[in-house]
A and B are shown apart, each in its own frame.
Chain A
Amino acid sequence: MTAPLLDIVDLKKHFPVRRSAFGARRGVIRAVDGVSFQVEPGETLGLVGESGCGKSTVGRMILRLIEPSSGSIRFAGEDLLALEGEALRRRRADLQLIFQDPYGSLDPRQTVEQIVGEPLVIHGVGDRASRRERVLGLIERVGLGTDHLRRHPHEFSGGQRQRIGIARALALNPKLIVCDEAVSALDVSIQAQVVNLLKRLQRDIGLTYLFIAHDLAVVRHISTRVAVMYLGRIVELAPTAALFDKPLHPYTQALLSAIPRPKPEIKRGRVLLTGDVPSPMTPPSGCRFHTRCPLAFDRCRVEDPVTQNLGAGRSVACHLVRPGEAPPDIRRDM
């Protein structure tokens, strides 16, 4: 196996919650609470989970937009968290982000040329003429044309804006792009176009993606491997096909059963989780999923399951998964 491009170990982010102006600490939100994974060069790692499970926070910590509370992030062998100032800015060229909201992520006062060219200007790439040429190349690469260069973001549709955001992310020839819900805000038909654009770009220029989303169908389409997050932890990580064929963690099983099916007449047994996601301020004792898990037993309430490596790139954090035994199945056991 080659060295991972991105190696994250025990990453945590705890946001302190203060009461009013007096600054008394009331508690902490454990938005991300011990996340570890690797991303191999050239692959797409899907990161899925419900709203508020911490997946966006993970993405933003990788880009140092949010400072982690603890843990380590190594990129191509280099400790990203040790970088400061100028070194950090230079390293940022290799890591880019595509935002969820194509309306908020483009400065309304800039033209497309300024938006896409800004990273080049900041990093002092080429002169004015060569930058212009590069911007034009990028714009064409994402399916827009020369006549769009002088326009402002408000003149474009959501899908076109997202393409502009992608062109900007590509400007500095990054190695890793974090797609934070990059297609979630788009219409379904536009989603497919943008996802296919991302796949084509990956094939053409060898990009690596961390694809954060809550839409499992999209994740299945684009990802090499998928990590499932729940309440600030990764509960299961597996190659895409394996995960979708045979989910091991009860939470993954519940998530997958919620995917709408093209043929509803074929009953696959939908499992409805009851209750809400517990507050990340006061996560449940033991396994974080036990309050909603239909298979929970005594041990789950007191002991936090460790992440077991099952081989073949699979890992899962559940007491019910034991080597050599049949995996848990929430459909059967209900």
Chain B
Amino acid sequence: MPIRRLLRHRLFMTGLSLFVFVVAAAVAAEWIATQSPTRMNMRMRFAAPGDARFLLGTDAFGRDILARLAYGAQVSLRIGVMVVLFTGFFGTFFGAIAGYFRKLDNPVMRVMDAFMAFPAILLAIAIAAALGPSELNVVIALAAVYTPRTARIVRASVLVVREAEFVQAARVAGAGETRILLGHVLPNSLAPLIVQLTFIFAYSVLAEAVLSFLGVGPAPPTPTWGNMIADGRNFIREAPWITLMPGVAISITVLGLNLLGDGLRDVLDPRMKVASS
């Protein structure tokens, strides 16, 4: 059984622990934070980590970094989940029709190629900047960037599965195209997609930080990890923890998700051993 093999996969379990840790922090943000993540304490600016009231220190406005990290995790995970849902849906839709209905292959995939011609992060910045800074717009921008890549992967596995004999068997049984595609081809094409989506989750967390840092993400003072790094960069010599803490948070999340994805790939899809973006 795949589940038992995952439980024995050490890297997968490491990744899972890291990810669960971040999820727990986001869920428990209200209890972790002793005060609002946006409350300023002007007399407690630049408190170093280890302070009695502020475990991870405070930033230039005297805001509690631990509280901001925990609430920032909520934003990052929410964006990650939404991007995964949108990308999963549209990527599967376009990939499936392109791979299954051969006449749609060229029209659909050439549009996807056009999107993929732009460097991912540049396109995301352009879309997010055009739509204006908000959480939803970040999701839209990232979904637009990752959908073509996902569609490629779904299309590739649909192309393989549609030639399987059980597809012909279904046709002999009288099944129509919709039934064959949804009932037989797609369920057997999803393993690479699931793997891909965990990586997309990781990219989304990273990309959200980049967009926030550049000022096209959720507007300050919303506590996002990217905003925190942007806020702290002017004081990086005097108070390095302001940038370091969110940096560590991003690293832990991305590392956890990548290990998770690697483990899933080893178990679900052993043929593709080399990761692709």
A residues with a Cβ closer than 8 A to B are: 60, 63, 65, 89-90, 92-93, 95-97, 99, 101, 104-109, 118-119, 122-123, 165, 168-169, 171-172
Instruction: Write out the residue numbers on chain A whose beta carbons fall within 8 Å of the beta carbon of B169.
Output: 97, 99, 105-107, 165, 168
Which one of B166, B173, B187, B188 lies within 8 Å of A122 (CB-CB)? Answer: B173
Task: Number of B interface residues at 8 Å Cβ cutoff, please give it.
Answer: 16
CB closest chain-B residue, reference A103: B165
Known interface pairs A65-B172, A97-B172, A106-B166; 9 further A-B residue pairs with C-beta atoms within 8 A, sorted by A's residue number: A63-B172, A89-B176, A90-B174, A104-B165, A107-B169, A108-B188, A118-B170, A122-B173, A165-B169
Which one of B168, B173, B176, B188 lies within 8 Å of A168 (CB-CB)? Answer: B173
B9 close to A (CB within 8 Å): no
B164 close to A (CB within 8 Å): yes
Chain B, range 172-194, C-beta contacts under 8 Å to A: 172-176, 179, 184, 187-188
Asked if A104 contacts B164 (CB within 8 A), the reply is yes
Minimum distance in angstroms from B193 CB to a CB of chain A: 14
B171 close to A (CB within 8 Å): yes
A-B contact count (CB 8 A): 57
Which one of A90, A106, A118 lies within 8 Å of B175 (CB-CB)? Answer: A118
Minimum distance in angstroms from A327 CB to a CB of chain B: 40
Q: How far is the CA of A101 from the CA of B168 in the complex (A)?
A: 12
B residues with a Cβ closer than 8 A to A are: 164-166, 168-176, 179, 184, 187-188
- A101-B175 CB under 8 A given contacts A107-B170, A109-B187, A109-B188: no
CB closest chain-B residue, reference A95: B172
Asked if B184 contacts A107 (CB within 8 A), the reply is yes
Instruction: Write out the residue numbers on chain A whose beta carbons fall within 8 Å of the beta carbon of B176.
Output: 89
Asked if A99 contacts B174 (CB within 8 A), the reply is no
Q: List 7 A-B contacts (CB under 8 A).
A: A65-B171, A97-B169, A105-B165, A105-B166, A105-B169, A107-B188, A118-B173
- A122-B171 CB under 8 A given contacts A99-B165, A107-B184: no
Q: How far is the CA of A100 from the CA of B70 in the complex (A)?
A: 58
Minimum distance in angstroms from A119 CB to a CB of chain B: 4
Q: How far is the CA of A93 from the CA of B171 in the complex (A)?
A: 11
Asked if A65 contacts B168 (CB within 8 A), the reply is yes
Minimum distance in angstroms from A84 CB to a CB of chain B: 13
Minimum distance in angstroms from A130 CB to a CB of chain B: 18
CB closest chain-A residue, reference B164: A104
Instruction: Write out the residue numbers on chain B whose beta carbons fall within 8 Å of the beta carbon of A99.
Output: 165, 168-169
Asked if B173 contacts A119 (CB within 8 A), the reply is yes
Which one of A93, A105, A108, A169 lies within 8 Å of B174 (CB-CB)? Answer: A93
Q: How far is the CA of A225 from the CA of B169 in the complex (A)?
A: 27
Q: How far is the CA of A232 from the CA of B34 in the complex (A)?
A: 82
Instruction: Write out the residue numbers on chain B whose beta carbons fall within 8 Å of the beta carbon of A93.
Output: 174
Minimum distance in angstroms from B161 CB to a CB of chain A: 10
Asked if A96 contacts B172 (CB within 8 A), the reply is yes
Which one of B166, B174, B179, B184 lies within 8 Å of A92 (CB-CB)? Answer: B174
Which one of B165, B170, B172 lies within 8 Å of A101 (CB-CB)? Answer: B165
Q: How far is the CA of A107 from the CA of B170 in the complex (A)?
A: 9
Instruction: Write out the residue numbers on chain B whose beta carbons fall within 8 Å of the beta carbon of A171.
Output: 173
Q: How far is the CA of A106 from the CA of B171 in the complex (A)?
A: 12
Q: How far is the CA of A109 from the CA of B179 in the complex (A)?
A: 14
Q: How far is the CA of A171 from the CA of B173 in the complex (A)?
A: 9
Instruction: Write out the residue numbers on chain A whose beta carbons fall within 8 Å of the beta carbon of B175.
Output: 118, 122
Instruction: Write out the residue numbers on chain A whose beta carbons fall within 8 Å of the beta carbon of B168.
Output: 60, 65, 97, 99, 105
Q: How far is the CA of A119 from the CA of B169 in the complex (A)?
A: 10
Minimum distance in angstroms from B125 CB to a CB of chain A: 35
Asked if B174 contacts A123 (CB within 8 A), the reply is yes
- A122-B165 CB under 8 A given contacts A89-B174, A92-B172, A108-B188: no
Asked if B166 contacts A107 (CB within 8 A), the reply is yes
Q: How far is the CA of A122 from the CA of B172 in the complex (A)?
A: 11
Asked if B166 contacts A104 (CB within 8 A), the reply is yes
